[in-house]
């Protein structure tokens, strides 16, 4: 047997496999409880799951939205899952915008702290937030948790409570991030993508010259940056990345978080295929929920958004490079970004891959020289010069991006034998990477070695979600 918290599932016979799975499943539920934190806004208590007590001690948008999809399968069904969503929505701005971070005013570990964003004039007074957002997975999560709520009446009541906020959020995304009505959303900060230091942004960084970032911003990063002290610096984004992250925040804050201006004038504005793939699926989810509540007229609008985005995603396919691509749209540019990252598989999640494109997409995904490693799916192809097995979003395999690819393959292309088999394999390898090394932020795609911050909520909730959705029969009583 291999060393590690648990043995490699492949080394075990079925009974032991089920024991490992059950053990990991139970450990995941314990960790989710441990990472629950209570925060008070407007004199009211909110319960939410922090990504990791080692560093990420506030509420993160897309982490919480996916965590809720695991929480719905715990004994707290549906309370903790509903609370997790309520704790996201409490930070929503009046215009419908949902921020990436809702800060806990009593905790200081994380950099940048709340005051760096200068959002006081635009956010809810009592809820300190950042000024950027994250991938729009909210509607997908609420659709899923309300379909898995034991009591249908409770699910319907919850839908009636949160649907107005979700619609307002989608309207805000459409108005501010797709003013030209292309179907693809513009994201304006690497942190918005969720894949912070991905090679996808290297080319766009050329427009953000380090010399033009105010010295005060760089001094602040040098003095106060904490992720590289609490975690291993060589696995984190570089200092230059952080100058750019904070330089953009400083610029947007000085523009009063005016999104019309930001989207038009920022040196960093990208039509992101991963963000947009989630957007397409989220609109289908929103339409489904509205239909379930008998609101088919309103559902039509969001169904229309979903269809438009799917077509736009399929149209980003570049035959020569055999991939979908992001588009740099900063300051009037329109320049495709060709980088071999796992973002190219995200149109699977949207259901945007055409019949003609599907075999090509699967071929690329299944290539052992690029993405089909021992612990797939690397965030950057392993044969790329930019591949780094340990540096955050520049190589490691992450459970969250695996989840998107798995659900894409299984839910949308499961009728295709090859897609289904690859989906099945990915489910097992994703569970395996968590079983072997525990709930770590990400792993080396070749060796499975764990990196990043530990006791992470994402792998725990994704373990619960994947097991309940695809491997229910393995859990022992
Ligand atoms: C990471 O991003 C934050 C900024 O949002 C950071 O590094 O400080 C990313 O992995 C992001 O996708 C994730 O939501 C966040 C919390 O887990 O951490």
Q: Mean pLDDT over all residues of the chain?
A: 96
How crowded is residue 377: how many other Cβ atoms within 10 Å of its Cβ?
25
Q: How far is the CA of 193 from the centre of ligand 1 (A)?
A: 9
> Which residues lie below 8 Å from residue 318, measured CB to CB, with a gap of 6+?
324, 325, 336, 338
pLDDT at 8 over 80: no
Q: How confident is the model at residue 431 (pLDDT cuts 50, 70, 90)?
A: very high
φ/ψ (deg, to 5) at 112: -80, 140
pLDDT at 340 over 90: yes
Q: Which atom of ligand 1 is nearest to the CA of 55?
A: 8
Q: How confident is the model at residue 124 (pLDDT cuts 50, 70, 90)?
A: confident
Q: How far is the CA of 191 from the centre of ligand 1 (A)?
A: 7
Q: What's the DSSP call for residue 46?
A: E
How crowded is residue 181: how many other Cβ atoms within 10 Å of its Cβ?
9
Q: Which atom of ligand 1 is nearest to the CA of 51?
A: 17
Q: Is 125 or 227 the better-scoring residue by pLDDT?
A: 227
Of 196, 244, 401, the one to substitute when testing ligand 1's pocket (max ligand atoms within 8 A of C-beta) is: 196
Pocket lined around ligand 1, Cβ cut-off 6 Å: 51, 56, 60, 62-63, 100, 191, 194, 196
Q: Which atom of ligand 1 is nearest to the CA of 393?
A: 10
Ligand 1: residue whose CA is nearest its atom 7? 196
Tokens read off for 264 = 């038009």
Give the CA radius of gyration of the chain: 21
How crowded is residue 435: how many other Cβ atoms within 10 Å of its Cβ?
25
Q: What's the DSSP call for residue 132?
A: -
Percent of the chain with pLDDT over 70: 97
Ligand 1: residue whose CA is nearest its atom 12? 194
Beta-bridge partners for 237 = none
Query: What is the spatial order of strands in the sheet that 335-337 belongs to?
Result: 186-187, 270-271, 326-328, 335-337
Q: Which atom of ligand 1 is nearest to the CA of 130?
A: 5
Q: 341-356 pLDDT, tens per residue?
A: 999 999 999 999 999 9
Residue indicated by tokens 């009593």: 106
Q: C-alpha distances in angstroms, 181 versus 177, 279, 328?
A: 9, 14, 16
Ligand 1: residue whose CA is nearest its atom 10? 194
Ligand 1: residue whose CA is nearest its atom 5? 191
Would you state the pLDDT for residue 14? 74
User: Rounded CA gap, 37 and 83, in Å?
Assistant: 11
How crowded is residue 157: how many other Cβ atoms within 10 Å of its Cβ?
14
Task: Give me the mean pLDDT over the 28-47 stretch.
Answer: 97
Q: Which atom of ligand 1 is nearest to the CA of 193?
A: 12
Q: 215-241 pLDDT, tens per residue?
A: 999 999 999 999 999 999 999 999 999
CB neighbour burial string for 95-114, b if at least 16 within 10 angstroms, e if fewer: ebbbbbbbbbeeeeebbbbb
DSSP 135-178: ---HHHHHHHHHHS-S-HHHHHHHHHHHHHHHHHHHHHHHHHH-
Task: Give me the mean pLDDT over the 176-194 stretch.
Answer: 98
Q: What's the DSSP call for residue 237?
A: P
Region for 332 from its dihedrals, namely left if φ exceeds 0, alpha if ψ lies in -120 to 50, beta otherwise: left
Of 51, 99, 141, 191, the one to substitute when testing ligand 1's pocket (max ligand atoms within 8 A of C-beta) is: 191
Q: 444-461 pLDDT, tens per residue?
A: 999 999 999 999 999 999
Task: Give me the mean pLDDT over the 268-285 stretch.
Answer: 98
Would you state the pLDDT for residue 3? 40
Q: How confident is the model at residue 9 (pLDDT cuts 50, 70, 90)?
A: low
Burial (CB count <10 Å: 0-12, 13-18, 19+), residue 274: buried
Q: How far is the CA of 277 from the centre of ligand 1 (A)?
A: 19
Of 56, 188, 238, the one to substitute when testing ligand 1's pocket (max ligand atoms within 8 A of C-beta) is: 56
User: Rounded CA gap, 316 and 72, in Å?
Assistant: 35
Q: How confident is the model at residue 246 (pLDDT cuts 50, 70, 90)?
A: very high
Spatial contact of 312 and 218, defined as CB atoms under 8 Å apart: no
Q: Which atom of ligand 1 is nearest to the CA of 110?
A: 8
């Amino acid at each position: 047997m291999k060393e590690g918290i648990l043995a490699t599932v492949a080394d075990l016979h079925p009974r032991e496999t089920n024991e490992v799975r059950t053990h990991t499943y139970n450990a995941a539920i314990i960790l989710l409880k441990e990472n629950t934190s209570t925060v008070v806004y407007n004199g009211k208590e909110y319960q939410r799951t922090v990504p990791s007590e080692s560093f990420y001690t506030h509420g993160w948008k897309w982490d919480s939205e996916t965590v809720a999809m695991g929480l719905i399968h715990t004994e707290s069904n549906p309370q903790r899952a509903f609370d997790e969503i309520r704790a996201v929505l409490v930070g929503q701005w009046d215009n419908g915008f949902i921020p990436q971070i809702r800060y806990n005013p009593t905790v200081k570990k994380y950099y940048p702290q709340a005051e760096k964003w200068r959002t006081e004039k635009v956010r809810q007074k009592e809820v300190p937030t950042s000024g950027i957002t994250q991938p729009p997975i909210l509607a997908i999560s609420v659709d899923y948790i309300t379909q898995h709520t034991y009591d249908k009446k409770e699910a319907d009541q919850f839908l009636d409570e949160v649907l107005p906020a979700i619609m307002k959020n989608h309207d805000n995304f459409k108005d501010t991030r797709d003013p030209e009505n292309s179907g693809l959303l513009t994201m304006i900060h690497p942190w918005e993508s969720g894949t912070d230091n991905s090679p996808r942004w290297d080319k766009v960084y050329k427009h953000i010259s380090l010399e033009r970032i105010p010295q005060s911003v760089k001094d602040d990063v040098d003095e106060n940056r904490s992720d590289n002290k609490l975690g291993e610096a060589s696995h984190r984004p570089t200092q230059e990345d952080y100058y750019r992250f904070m330089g953009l925040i400083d610029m947007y804050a000085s523009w009063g978080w005016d999104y019309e201006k930001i989207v038009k004038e920022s040196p960093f504005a990208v039509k992101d295929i991963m963000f947009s793939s989630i957007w397409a699926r989220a609109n289908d989810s929103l339409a489904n929920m509205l239909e379930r509540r008998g609101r088919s007229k309103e559902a039509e609008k969001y169904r229309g958004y979903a269809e438009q985005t799917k077509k736009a995603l399929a149209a980003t396919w570049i035959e020569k490079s055999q991939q979908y691509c992001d588009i740099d749209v900063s300051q009037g540019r329109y320049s495709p970004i060709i980088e071999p990252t796992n973002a190219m598989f995200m149109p699977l999640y949207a259901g945007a891959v055409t019949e003609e494109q599907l075999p090509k997409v699967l071929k690329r995904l299944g290539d052992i020289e690029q993405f089909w490693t021992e612990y797939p799916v690397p965030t950057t192809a392993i044969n790329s010069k930019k591949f780094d097995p340990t540096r955050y979003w520049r190589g490691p395999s992450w459970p969250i991006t695996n989840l998107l690819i798995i659900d894409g393959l299984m839910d949308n292309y499961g009728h295709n034998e090859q897609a289904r088999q690859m989906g099945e394999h990915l489910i097992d390898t994703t569970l395996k990477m968590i079983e072997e090394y525990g709930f770590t932020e990400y792993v080396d795609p070749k060796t499975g070695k764990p990196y990043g911050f530990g006791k992470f909520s994402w792998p725990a909730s994704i373990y619960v979600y994947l097991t309940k959705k695809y491997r229910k029969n393995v859990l022992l009583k």
